[in-house]
Structure 1
Amino acid sequence: MTDTLHLIAHVGGCGVMFNTDRVASVVELDRAVPAPGAGPAVIGLAAMRSRVATVLDVRQLLGVPPRPTGDGAIGHAVATMVDGHLYAIAVDMLEDVEAVEIAPRPPGMGGASDAAWDFVSGVAERGQETLLALDIDRLVARAGAIE
């Protein structure tokens, strides 16, 4: 595959990448207002530049430890648009934008629930770390489907 520009971030110690074509911005969010009836991957709603964004926590999807409950601050997030709606995907750390060569997602990723990992479009190796290339459309759809 060819090199493409990706924003590299970490969620719960897991290295992830977002195609820069799909990143509207990176933001710092103080808090989110809970959204009654929303799935567990939805932290809540937050105001971003005069718009309301649905704030997502994708830790459960990635199989990493839950978000610390602490003071309720969100911190870093990757803002993106999906079907005309604004989303902010909470991340622990933002690194940089890099040209990364993406390899296909290995078969069997996610074990018996391989289909549940359809939001991972590929992987890349960087030093000693494996980075997951996330398909934003599938990630948002899967985050809404968690029960």
Structure 2
Amino acid sequence: MGNYGDWLVMIVAAGLILYWVYRGFYRWLHEPPGMRSKLLLSEAEKVREDDENVRFLEQAGFEVTHGKYRVPITIDLDGEELQSRLFIDLIAEKDGKHYIVKTARDRMPIDWTGSGVRDRLLVYALLLPECEGVLFVDQKERTIRTIVFRFG
């Protein structure tokens, strides 16, 4: 019985190891591309402490963890390659939740309707899906608006 018991333990252990490897591979295979954002944000600029938006967010209880980042985008249009970029102003954290920060620009006012917010800010939520939402900081009006997109 001792000989068969050893084999049984080995088979159960091998089965558990194979199941663990399978689940790890399955998770890696089905992980959204945005989950690899740690690599993406490792190239972000340093946070400038003299930036008024950084100070404003810190006064509101947020910790600014990453500075400005430029996301290069290559677009294939009918076989022609086009280049563009997307700018993330800051990444902030509060209560263990991360937020993408966009700052107000005089040249680019935002239309505060459902379609206006969607057209302007949804791309950031899709770029980093592990973030809780998008913070829109308007330094002139002294407001921080939190935008969270829910699908379905």
Q: In which range does the TM-score fall when normalised by the shorter chain?
A: under 0.3
Q: Tell me the TM-score normalised to structure 2 length.
A: 0.27
Answer 1 or 2: which has greater helix percent. Answer: 2
Greater fraction of residues in strand:
1
Q: Which has the larger radius of gyration?
A: 2
Say which structure, 1 or 2, has more relative contact order (CA 8 Å, 6+ apart). 1
